Structure 1
Amino acid sequence: METLIIRTGNHQSQVLLGESYNQVGKYLPDARVIAVTDKNVYEHYRAFIRQWPVIVIKPGERNKTFETLEYIIDKLIRLNADRSTFVLGIGGGIVCDITGFAASIYMRGLRFGFISTSLLSQVDASVGGKNGINFRGYKNMVGVFRQPDFVLCDPSILKTLDNHEFITGFAEVIKAAAIRDESFFSWLEANYKAALNHDPEALEQMIYRSVKIKAEVVELDEKERNLRRILNFGHTFGHALEKVTGISHGEAVSVGMVMAAKLSEKTGTAPAGTALRLQQLLSGVGLPLLSPVPPDDLVDAMSRDKKKEKEQMFLVLLRRIGEAVTMPMPYTELKQHLHDLR
């Protein structure tokens, strides 16, 4: 087992890599615990979760809403949660996002932690202190920055995922390598098949290196004022694709990264061959590469992204595999580039 510590301001958050979910009691405070999970996770781990009072929410991105947030807060009130209560989110990225948000605003803030049950949440969504919900179709439009006490990542849990959900989590792994660590990207090119086959050593190494990259970035820029923006590589295009098409987050980020890499080459930011290398790894894993959305529709959806500023969008592009840069680009110029790349 490995423990990564994320230090931000006066807070310290632990990421417990390779720890068994059954050992979570070692990390819980001496306080009352209330669990939050979704229906799918509850069905798999009912006997384990029922040791605490539990709030069960509906699964899926469409339920990451004010309505679900209100439901959780109402249940916390009915369960007599007070400021000493610890909230334990057990689930994937959606459960972690909304549980962290509910805990952060209930009585002006309760302590919370996560048992992360999907690859996407283990390597990205549950780590870093972003908590929030969607609003009127706009991704993560309402939320707060607040760090969990811990995130427990047990790779054995990933065997319960269906193959599609497991594969889509690789998008965030590949993103981490592409923006920050070329040696990790090369390792993925050589070892992704072993990780896909749930080889324990490969899977633990992959999760550890992904989380380490994110932890380093978050420590340097918790509130996403500068460096942390690079973690949005593929996400500006990806969030727009999610909104327009309804495809999964991982699939959308995969397509978004390809678009950003091609744009990196077209603007002279990255050398030729950068996008091809990225595409080959994404394709090998089984992730999609092409956008089904016309450029005008995509830019229109992007114009409502929270990362916009006036009439331009801050994009994350690659200088090369392993190094990213943020760049402002007017919508008119972006639209023309996307037409040229089709």
Structure 2
Amino acid sequence: METIQQRFAVTFSYPVIFTQQLFDPQNPKLRDFLSQYGERDFRKKIFFCIDSGVLAAHPTLQSQITHYFESVPTLSLVPEWLVIPGGEAAKNAPALFDQIVEAVDQYGIDRHSFVAAIGGGAVLDLVGYAAAVSHRGVKHIRIPTTVLSQNDSGVGVKNGINYRGKKNFLGTFAPPVAVFNDTAFLRTLDDRDWRSGISEAIKVALIKDKVFFEWLEANAKALAQRDEAAMQYLIHRCAELHMQHISGGDPFESGSARPLDFGHWAAHKLEYLTHFEVRHGEAVAIGIALDTYYSQLTGRLSETDTQRVIQVLHELGFKLYHPALAEQDSVHLINGLREFQEHLGGRLTITLLDAIGVGVEVHEMDTVLIQKAVVVLQGETV
């Protein structure tokens, strides 16, 4: 019998829409999207999952949404809401995943209907994963509410939850149908969450865009002082660079490289070592500093460029060391390399810096130099 070879391509397309006061009845962005999306000859439903921290900061949000959907005649708003505790702990709680799936079943959310998530990156990851596996994929709308989720995780194609003590062990590549970045949500963030997301902008600038890094240098003080116009530009440019990377290379990570995870191999491990006391963006800042010093120690990056990176991180208020890095002479941290490789398989592939704006992939790391970089970081404590 002859072999039958199957081959087909699937095109993914979704907008990232920048706006303010998304649920103001005078704002047509969401209403227009929902009215124009998909088939229009039958009534669809939309079910909202909301980060509890967002709801606490915006106590009238549910009534705003209810009022908003009175002007969306093509859609039925599910009158019940699922409120989910925010933060990384949401991705460690199987019961929350079960609740979302149960709600999809209970309220009849079919593959033409929508599950909308409002919250930080962890809540978006959890809800996106549940939506992707329910009915083999119901439509998912992301409404990120943090800097980190608006400029990075919320605009990408990945969803996931933590399992067996490993970050994002269960997950999917399932793009949302739309992302709505509402600047108004950022105004209620505390300083840690405002700052935390900036690390992802530094990351992508360092590996892809020297000009953007120079802008970050020039605007570090304004960003630290919560200048909204500066943050809006940062989020837009960072999201743009992330989306360009996703569309231009290996969107579903079928290879062994994750260049957009510069600084992340150590960051992921540090989050676990601190029981998520260190937030993701804060851990990424430490990981960036570690791999920047490592790049210098291997002769790739000049001392001048290294200090420019460290200076920006300091000006933004990041702490660049945590005692967990040195526990058991960094044995736990080194294990993070193996886990990082295991997540993709294939060869170990880590992104380092040859220069500001120039990332390079390497396939081995010197554990002695990693420990030296940790010692240098310890001296950078502020």
User: What corresponds to 1:259 in structure 2?
Assistant: 290
Tell me the CA shift for residue 139 of structure 1. Answer: 1.0
- Work out the CA distance in 2 between the residues paired with 1:180 and 1:225: 21
Between 42-51 and 100-109, report the one with greater CA deviation.
Answer: 42-51
User: What corresponds to 2:62 in structure 1?
Assistant: 46
- Work out the CA distance in 2 between the residues paired with 1:285 and 1:148: 31
**Which structure 2 residues correspond to residues 82-231 of structure 1 after superposition, within 5 A?**
82-220=110-248, 221-225=250-254, 229-231=258-260
User: What corresponds to 1:33 in structure 2?
Assistant: 46
Which letter does structure 1 place at the counterpart of 2:178?
F
Tell me the CA shift for residue 195 of structure 1. Answer: 3.0
Tell me the CA shift for residue 228 of structure 1. Answer: 6.8
- Work out the CA distance in 2 between the residues paired with 1:219 and 1:128: 10
- Work out the CA distance in 2 between the residues paired with 1:154 and 1:123: 12
- Work out the CA distance in 2 between the residues paired with 1:101 and 1:143: 6
Tell me the CA shift for residue 9 of structure 1. Answer: 4.4
Where in structure 2 are there 5+ consecutive unaligned residues?
A: 1-8, 70-76, 376-382
- Work out the CA distance in 2 between the residues paired with 1:298 and 1:228: 20
TM-score (norm 2): 0.81
- Work out the CA distance in 2 between the residues paired with 1:308 and 1:224: 8
Tell me the CA shift for residue 217 of structure 1. Answer: 0.2
Q: Is the 8 A contact 2:169 2:343 kept in 1?
A: no
Q: Is the 8 A contact 1:222 1:228 kept in 2?
A: no
TM-score (norm 1): 0.90
- Work out the CA distance in 2 between the residues paired with 1:239 and 1:21: 32
Residues 227, 318 of structure 1: CA spacing in aligned structure 2 closer, same or farther, 3 A cutoff? farther
SS in 1 for 2:15: strand
Residues 319, 307 of structure 1: CA spacing in aligned structure 2 closer, same or farther, 3 A cutoff? farther
Where in structure 1 are there 5+ consecutive unaligned residues?
A: 1-7
| Same amino acid, percent of matched pairs | 32
Q: Is the 8 A contact 1:217 1:228 kept in 2?
A: no
Residues 84, 19 of structure 1: CA spacing in aligned structure 2 closer, same or farther, 3 A cutoff? same
- Work out the CA distance in 2 between the residues paired with 1:116 and 1:232: 20
- Candidates 55, 70, 76, aligned match of 2:82: 55
- Candidates 332, 339, 348, aligned match of 1:304: 339
User: What corresponds to 1:3 in structure 2?
Assistant: none
- Work out the CA distance in 2 between the residues paired with 1:134 and 1:320: 34
Tell me the CA shift for residue 39 of structure 1. Answer: 1.5
Tell me the CA shift for residue 192 of structure 1. Answer: 2.5
Q: Is the 8 A contact 2:115 2:138 kept in 1?
A: yes
Q: Is the 8 A contact 1:217 1:227 kept in 2?
A: no
Tell me the CA shift for residue 169 of structure 1. Answer: 1.1
Which letter does structure 1 place at the counterpart of 2:155?
V
- Candidates 293, 298, 307, aligned match of 1:276: 307
- Work out the CA distance in 2 between the residues paired with 1:155 and 1:180: 25
User: What corresponds to 1:21 in structure 2?
Assistant: 22
Tell me the CA shift for residue 224 of structure 1. Answer: 2.2
Q: Is the 8 A contact 1:181 1:322 kept in 2?
A: yes
Task: Specify which structure has the higher proportion of strand.
Answer: 1
Matched, 1:248 2:274: no
Q: Is the 8 A contact 1:17 1:204 kept in 2?
A: no
Q: Is the 8 A contact 2:263 2:290 kept in 1?
A: yes
User: Could you report, residue by residue, the CA deviation over 1:38-69 in whole angstroms, capped at 9, with x for unpaired residues?
Assistant: 21222312323445432212222112133221
Tell me the CA shift for residue 75 of structure 1. Answer: 1.5
Q: Is the 8 A contact 1:218 1:228 kept in 2?
A: no
User: What corresponds to 1:11 in structure 2?
Assistant: 12
SS in 1 for 2:348: strand
Which letter does structure 2 place at the counterpart of 1:27?
F
Which letter does structure 2 place at the counterpart of 1:96?
L
SS in 2 for 1:72: helix
- Candidates 320, 324, 337, aligned match of 2:369: 337
Which letter does structure 1 place at the counterpart of 2:15?
Q
User: What corresponds to 2:352 in structure 1?
Assistant: 317
SS in 2 for 1:286: coil
RMSD: 2.0
- Work out the CA distance in 1 between the residues paired with 2:189 and 2:314: 20
Residues 225, 80 of structure 1: CA spacing in aligned structure 2 closer, same or farther, 3 A cutoff? closer
- Candidates 55, 73, 79, aligned match of 2:107: 79
Q: How many residues align?
A: 331
- Work out the CA distance in 2 between the residues paired with 1:308 and 1:227: 6
SS in 2 for 1:21: coil
Tell me the CA shift for residue 270 of structure 1. Answer: 2.1
Which letter does structure 1 place at the counterpart of 2:31?
G
